[in-house]
Each structure stands twice: as C-alpha cells, then as structure tokens.
C-alpha cells in the first residue's frame, strides 16, 4: 500500500506522462486530480504516439484502474471523443475508468468566454489553451456550474442549465435550449457507467493495499495561487491539490516525485527569467519537438532555473526528482543553470512570484560543459558521459534532492533508474 504523486514542477509539459507511464507498471490506480483538457500528456510506446487530455496516462496498462477526480473539469464532448478514439484503438474502459460525479463540466459557453476574454485582453492576454478552463472553474466558485453527475438527472440538469444561463444573463431560444439539453443528455448516457463517487473508492483501495499514483497536470508555476499569477491556469497544481481534488487524506500521501525538464519551457504569456531566444532556442525547440501537445504552439525555451525549481520542490514537498529530455541538450557545448536571481545587483533570497518582480530579475548562471555523444540509448547512470553526470549532479546539489529517474528519449525504455547515490 502506497501512494505516489507525480507533479510537473515548472510551467507544464515537463514529461509527466512519460514518467507516469514508466512507473505506472507498479501502480494499481492512476488518478487525475485537477485540470482538464488544457493538459496534453504524451506517451510514445513502440513508436505509437498517444496524447491524453483528460484520460489518465495509466490507461495503457490494461489492468490499471483510472480515476478522473472531483477536482477536474470535463468537457463532456471532448472527453467522449477522446475515449471513443482510444476505444477504436482497442483500449477498454469497462470497470477501469471512474469519473467522480462532482467533476465540473466545461460547457460550450466556457470555451467561448475563454476565447473572448483572450481577444479582449489583446497584448495582455494570458495565452490560454482556449479550452474553457478559467470560466469553468470560475463558475464552480460562483456556484452556477454544472457537474458531470448532473447529467444523470434530467429535470435537475434542465434546472441547472437554466440557472447557469440566468447567471450569465443570457437567454437561449427554445431550439438552442433543447439542442443543448439533448446533447448533454446523450453525453450523460455515454458517461453513466463511469460516473461514481471516487473518493471512497480511492480510500478503500489504499486501505486494501493497492498502489495509487496521482498524476498532476500543468505545473507548479501555473498554480492558481502559487504560480506566476495572473499567467497561470485556474486549478491547484501543487501537491495540496491532490487531497482537495480526490478526497484522499493528506496523511496518506506517501511520496512526491517532481518532474523537471533538463531545461525549461513555457507556453503562453508571462515572465520567464531564464528564457533564451535565437538559434540556440530554435535548436532546442527542434530537438525536443517543443510544440504544445494541446494547441501546437511553439514552446518558449530557457535554461534550467534552479531558483524556480527549488521553490517548486519546497512548496510541493518533493522527495526525489525525475529529469526529462536530457538527450535534447546533447551537442550544446556550454550549458547554463540559473543558481540565483539578482535585482539591481542584489541577490534575492529565492523565487519571486509577482510578475512585476519576476520580469525584472537577472538570472545568475553557472556554466557547465556539454557532451557530444548520443545518450538516447544509455541505460545506466554509469554509462552517461561525465559531463551529463556533472550536469545532473549540479541540479541535485542545488535542489538538495536526489535524481531518481533520468529520461533520455520518448519511449518507456529510454529511462535510467538511478540507484544509490548519484
């Protein structure tokens, strides 16, 4: 009996799904606790690529149970498409996927509001994924949202939908109202076998001795409160979000694995102290295929930021590190790691999250030698080039946390388990 929480610790896309898939062999249950279809979680298995948006990344293991927890928001039509496309590829969801009845619904209006709000902000926009995430979570806080369990009660669904439009001061024509109710009821029929109260199941499984893996979406620096607000998502991506998002007791959270890229990326707007532009950023973007899994947008590229990483590791109580995409740095002669921030030549004690400050900070770097040899088939710590080991040791020393996993390629087998002391 154990639980492990796998968290993205920067601005998302750290390779969480790759790591969840790698350690997923030991998990009986994989649960998502926050976010929605803004997530794009990629697994490459024997050359075949899967991108999950709302379905937990454990679904590729036929015996593993998957939970979409109460803290998530679900686009019912998007999730139905995602599941149907996976069903067509032979993935069975029967008695394996459980959706909490309290998960919020992302309605069409939420996506429209998301896009409109971005348009009206113009240059000030957040650069959201356009999946309606902000408006859906706002409506939950405003208590006018619908939840997936509402789809199972036709009269209640109609009443909630009417109240939802009243709250938004919108009037639908009878035809529009009927069409939306019909579509939602059809989705409800599709989801009916999967909708349950998952909190009790998770607690029972844990008590019965099962291994539970909580799969984070987005990253700590996108957390609604602890991230680089307002350039954040609208859910709680930090470890504390697991309990609220699943009803799992905090004292049962046993291990926290922090996932970091060997460098940093960010999609969307907002301050990014270690950002690099020009040919080197282009080279990394190309080597790492750094284009958003959900929107296809080119990701912004930067050096590893140990100041932000330390903040994130400490806020989440991370126990050990998984460093991904190390192979992407191959062939870069000199590698920088940001060790502290300066403002007006004054060293800051740590990370700053206010955008006015974060925009001003000057990163202070250490520069380490790179390596030339291809590492994508390396299977052990010992076989890594000494410069790669030195780079990982520097991260480990700065964060004062052990590197447990090193990912050197997209495939499951391209993962090094670091034994003993690195």
One residue of 131, 300, 310, 389 binding ligand IMO per CB under 6 A: 131
Q: Work out how close the CB of 360 gets to ligand GDP at its nearest, in angstroms, rounded to a whole number.
A: 29
CB-wise, 86 or 113, nearer to ligand GDP? Answer: 86
One residue of 133, 212, 309, 328 binding ligand GDP per CB under 6 A: 328
CA 268 to chain centre: 14
41 is catalytic: yes
CA-nearest of 369, 372, 284 to 328 is 284
Q: Are 302 and 280 in contact (CB under 8 A)?
A: no
Using CB under 5 A as the binding rule, the residues of this chain from 269 to 328 that contact Mg ion are 293
Binding span for ligand GDP by CB under 6 A among 146-154, 179-187, 287-295, 361-369: 287-295
The reply on whether position 246 binds ligand GDP by CB under 6 A is: no
One residue of 3, 4, 18, 76 binding ligand GDP per CB under 6 A: 18
Backbone angles phi, psi at 323, to 5 degrees: -105, 120
The reply on whether position 16 binds ligand GDP by CB under 6 A is: yes
Which one is catalytic: 28, 41, 100, 305?
41
The reply on whether position 407 binds ligand GDP by CB under 6 A is: yes
One residue of 17, 70, 86, 281 binding ligand GDP per CB under 6 A: 17
The reply on whether position 57 binds ligand IMO by CB under 6 A is: no
Choose among ligand IMO, Mg ion, ligand GDP, none what residue 410 binds, the Cβ cut-off being 5 to 8 Å by kind.
Answer: ligand GDP
Binding span for ligand GDP by CB under 6 A among 39-47, 187-195, 246-254, 366-374: 39-47
The reply on whether position 239 binds ligand IMO by CB under 6 A is: no
One residue of 7, 13, 318, 324 binding ligand IMO per CB under 6 A: 13
Q: Work out how close the CB of 294 gets to ligand IMO at its nearest, in angstroms, rounded to a whole number.
A: 6
What is the sign, positive or negative, of the torsion defined by CA atoms of 90, 92, 93, 94?
Answer: positive
The reply on whether position 332 binds ligand GDP by CB under 6 A is: no
Using CB under 5 A as the binding rule, the residues of this chain from 27 to 46 that contact Mg ion are 40
One residue of 201, 315, 325, 398 binding ligand GDP per CB under 6 A: 325
Using CB under 6 A as the binding rule, the residues of this chain from 275 to 294 that contact ligand IMO are 293
254 is catalytic: no
One residue of 13, 75, 305, 327 binding Mg ion per CB under 5 A: 13
Structure tokens that stand for 43 in this block: 């697994």
* Chain residues in the site for ligand IMO (CB under 6 A): 8, 11-13, 38-41, 126-129, 131, 133-134, 217-219, 222, 231, 233-234, 267-268, 293
* Chain residues in the site for ligand GDP (CB under 6 A): 8, 12-18, 40-42, 44, 288-289, 293, 324-325, 327-328, 407-410
Residues annotated as part of the active site: 13, 41
């Amino acid at each position: 009996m154990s639980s492990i929480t796998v968290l993205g610790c920067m601005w998302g896309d750290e390779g969480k799904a790759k790591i969840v898939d790698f350690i997923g062999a030991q998990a009986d249950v994989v649960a998502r606790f926050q976010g929605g279809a803004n997530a794009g979680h990629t697994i490459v298995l024997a050359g075949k690529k899967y991108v999950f948006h709302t379905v937990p990344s454990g679904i590729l293991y036929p015996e593993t149970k998957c939970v979409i927890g109460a803290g998530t928001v679900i686009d019912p039509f998007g999730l139905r498409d995602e599941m149907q496309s996976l069903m067509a590829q032979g993935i069975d969801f029967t008695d394996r996927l459980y959706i909490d009845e309290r998960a919020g619904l992302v309605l069409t209006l939420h996506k429209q509001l998301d896009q409109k709000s971005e348009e009206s902000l113009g240059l000030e926009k957040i650069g959201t994924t356009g999946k309606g995430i902000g408006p859906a979570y706002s409506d939950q806080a405003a208590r006018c949202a619908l939840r997936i369990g509402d789809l199972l009660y036709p009269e209640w669904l109609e009443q909630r939908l009417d109240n939802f439009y009243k709250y938004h001061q919108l009037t639908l024509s009878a035809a529009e109202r009927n069409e939306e109710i019909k579509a939602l009821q059809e989705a409800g029929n599709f989801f009916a076998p999967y909708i349950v109260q998952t909190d009790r199941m998770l607690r029972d499984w844990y008590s019965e001795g099962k291994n539970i893996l909580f799969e984070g979406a987005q990253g700590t620096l996108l957390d609604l409160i602890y991230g680089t607000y307002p350039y954040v998502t609208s859910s709680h991506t930090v470890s504390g979000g697991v309990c609220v998002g699943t009803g799992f007791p905090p004292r049962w959270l046993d291990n926290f694995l922090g996932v970091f890229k060997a460098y940093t990326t960010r999609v969307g707007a907002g301050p990014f102290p270690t950002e690099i532009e020009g040919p080197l950023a282009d080279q990394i973007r190309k080597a790492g295929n750094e284009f958003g899994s959900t929107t296809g947008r080119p990701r912004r590229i930067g050096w590893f930021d140990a100041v932000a990483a330390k903040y994130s590791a400490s806020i989440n109580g991370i126990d050990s590190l998984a460093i991904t995409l190390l192979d992407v740095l191959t062939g870069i002669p000199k590698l920088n790691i940001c060790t502290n921030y300066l403002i007006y030549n004054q060293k800051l004690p740590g990370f700053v999250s206010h955008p006015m400050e974060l925009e001003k900070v000057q990163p202070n770097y250490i520069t380490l030698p790179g390596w030339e040899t291809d590492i994508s088939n390396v299977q052990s710590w010992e076989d890594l080039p000494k410069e790669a080991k030195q780079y990982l040791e520097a991260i480990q020393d700065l964060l004062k946390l052990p590197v447990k996993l090193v990912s050197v390629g997209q495939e499951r087998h391209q993962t090094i388990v670091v034994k003993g002391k690195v």
